[in-house]
Amino acid sequence: MSPKAGLVLEGFLATEVAQRGIAQGKLVATRKPDSIPEELLKVPDVSDWPDKIRPAVFEHETVSFANYPNEWPAEMFESAARLTLNLAADVLPSGFNLKDGSPWNVMFRGSEPVFLDMASFEPRDPLERVWIPYGQFVRTFLLPLIIWRAMRLPPGQHFQVSRDGMKPAECFRQLGLARALRSPALEMCTIPSALAWWAGKRKKTTAELRPARARSAEEAQFVISRLLRRLDRALGRVVMRDPAKSEWTSYAEEVAKREFASGYFEAKRQFVAEVLELARPASCLDIGCNTGYFSLMAAAAGARVVAVDSDAASMGALYRKARLEGQNILPLVVDIARPTPALGWNNSESFAFLDRAERAGLEMVMMLALIHHLCLVERVPLVEVARLAGQLAPRWLVIEFVPREDPLAQRMPGYWTSDSDWSPYSRQAFEEVFGRYFRSVRNTELAGSGRWIYLMERRQGDSG
């Protein structure tokens, strides 16, 4: 950053509120290094600066697994929103202002949010009575959550196409008149849409619509504090009063009750407990985790867990439980058949999920009751599933094979009833293609269900 911006950041880091936020884990730990690495000075946007201007350089702690708003369930949006509002309120007495109100400034370390963009804190005009990022906060936090509550559309999906959330007029169109006239949509969506229309008709500029400056610093701080409290109350009204449910949130309980599965779930639990004790992974990727029963087991065994599933309600349920229990689990809404792509300018503002997962080198990968979804519903060849597992699992793989004849598999929409020469699906084919990347350490049939579970270890020297 520029020397001027660097001085601002140094000033903020010296405040008590910044030091407390870092100590509490709300702000990412940031410091100024003793020297600037020479390779940094060769970066194009820095090397073009005049010779006498040296950039201000800061470094911060690394978030172990980068995550983005388009992968969060609604419950994580709520946590990130509350963190943003709390920080905005905390810095007011210190003479600083939080100038950004976007979820893109937040990531999660496990189940806890942390604010990353320390350059978003700037000295506040003592007579300014407006919280500048109010509109951004509404567009990126409140309106997506309003749509989630009204229509069960996951808030993360809006960020696949726009990093700036939703416009009030777009929210109004999706809600329809009846729902748009209810609080808090009326305040956050309908009235702003009407005001924007009126301003456009009258050709009013933004400067003309801004309120007058405060008469004193105390009045300005009071007005902004009251606005932040109002946003916090609005946030409380747009979140779900009861946990969201889907066809998958009760799946584990239903499977345990099926006649074919008498003893199945307990046998599976016992196998996973034994392999966690044997392998003792420091980190784990649980793909297709549902509501995270086995993710919680891995975390309780000491692993840092990244848990992914395509069902946002299931990920919300896991997030609530992980945060309540203080477990180091990062739940993300990711469909492994269509994983999150790289997004933004030059595809480098947010990185693809598979790239992040591969670079993270998570010691154990779990794929439990998953591959039949990929092969028999998504039509992914078994050999490609094995290739993906080889790409993501640097050492341990815990995987469950569900046969084509499985009664639950046959009830899935889109179930593929026929086999083919180019993509066989059988236990023999499974063991052959996965054997190219892994050796089987132990395996067993789960309580006569026809389902088999394996602990596999990556073959040494195989790059996948």
pLDDT by position in tens, the chain (length 464): 788 889 999 999 999 999 999 999 999 999 988 877 776 666 666 556 665 567 788 999 999 999 999 999 999 999 999 999 999 999 999 999 999 999 999 999 999 999 999 999 999 998 888 899 999 999 999 999 999 988 888 899 889 888 899 998 889 999 998 988 888 888 888 888 887 766 666 665 555 556 678 889 898 899 899 999 999 999 999 887 777 777 777 776 666 666 556 789 999 999 999 999 999 999 999 999 999 999 999 999 999 999 999 999 999 999 999 999 999 999 999 999 999 999 988 888 999 999 999 999 999 999 999 999 999 999 999 999 999 999 999 999 999 999 988 888 888 777 766 665 567 899 999 999 999 999 999 999 999 899 999 999 999 865 44
217 & 271 share domain: no
Three-state DSSP class for residue 79 = helix
- The CATH number given to whatever domain includes residue 277 is 3.40.50.150
Cα–Cα distance measured from residue 344 to residue 360, given in angstroms and rounded to the nearest whole number: 21
Sign of CA dihedral 92, 94, 97, 101: negative
Q: What one-letter code names the amino acid at 346?
A: N
Q: Which residue intervals of 301-381 are DSSP H helices?
A: 312-325, 353-360, 371-376
365 & 440 share domain: yes
329 & 417 share domain: yes
- Nearest Cα to 131, choosing from 179, 99, 106? 99
Note whether residue 209 is domain-resident. yes
Note whether residue 150 is domain-resident. yes
86 & 156 share domain: yes
Q: 29 is written with which tokens?
A: 């730990």
Is omega for the bond preceding 407 within 30 degrees of 0, making it cis? no
pLDDT, residue 278, reads 97
148 & 117 share domain: yes
325 & 261 share domain: yes
Print the domain residue range for 166: 64-238
pLDDT, residue 375, reads 92
**Pairing outcome for strands 329-333 and 304-309:** parallel
- Among residues 238, 261, 295, the one where a domain terminates is 238
Note whether residue 121 is domain-resident. yes
pLDDT, residue 25, reads 96
Give the number of other Cβ atoms within 10 Å of residue 24's Cβ: 10
233 & 256 share domain: no
Q: What one-letter code names the amino acid at 196?
A: A
Q: What one-letter code names the amino acid at 246?
A: S
159 burial (CB, 10 Å; 0-12 / 13-18 / 19+) is buried
Cα–Cα distance measured from residue 140 to residue 153, given in angstroms and rounded to the nearest whole number: 14
User: Rounded to whole angstroms, what are the CA distances from 390 to 198, 373, 395, 434, 454?
Assistant: 58, 18, 9, 8, 15
408 & 291 share domain: yes
The single residue listed with the structure tokens 């010296």 is: 14
**Pairing outcome for strands 364-367 and 283-287:** parallel
170 burial (CB, 10 Å; 0-12 / 13-18 / 19+) is middle
Counted domains in the chain: 2
Write the secondary structure of 207-263 as one string of H (helix), E (strand) and C (coil): HHHCCCCCCCHHHHHHHHHHHHHHHHHHHHHHCCCCCCCCCCCCHHHHHHHCHHHCC
Note whether residue 170 is domain-resident. yes
Per-residue b or e along 341-364, where b marks 16 or more CB atoms closer than 10 Å to that residue's CB? eebeeeeeebbebbebbbebebbb
Cα–Cα distance measured from residue 322 to residue 296, given in angstroms and rounded to the nearest whole number: 7
- Nearest Cα to 378, choosing from 244, 290, 247, 288? 288
pLDDT, residue 190, reads 87
Note whether residue 11 is domain-resident. no
Determine contact, residues 200/209, Cβ cutoff 8 Å: no
215 & 296 share domain: no
Note whether residue 49 is domain-resident. no
Note whether residue 2 is domain-resident. no
Give Cα 198 to chain centroid, integer Å.
Answer: 37
Q: What one-letter code names the amino acid at 6?
A: G
Three-state DSSP class for residue 416 = coil
209 & 261 share domain: no
Note whether residue 265 is domain-resident. yes
Cα–Cα distance measured from residue 218 to residue 210, given in angstroms and rounded to the nearest whole number: 19
334 & 283 share domain: yes
Where residue 143 falls (left for φ over 0; alpha for ψ -120 to 50; beta otherwise) is alpha
Cα–Cα distance measured from residue 332 to residue 287, given in angstroms and rounded to the nearest whole number: 10
281 & 339 share domain: yes
Cα–Cα distance measured from residue 365 to residue 392, given in angstroms and rounded to the nearest whole number: 7
pLDDT, residue 291, reads 93
Q: 326 is written with which tokens?
A: 């203080």
pLDDT, residue 260, reads 56
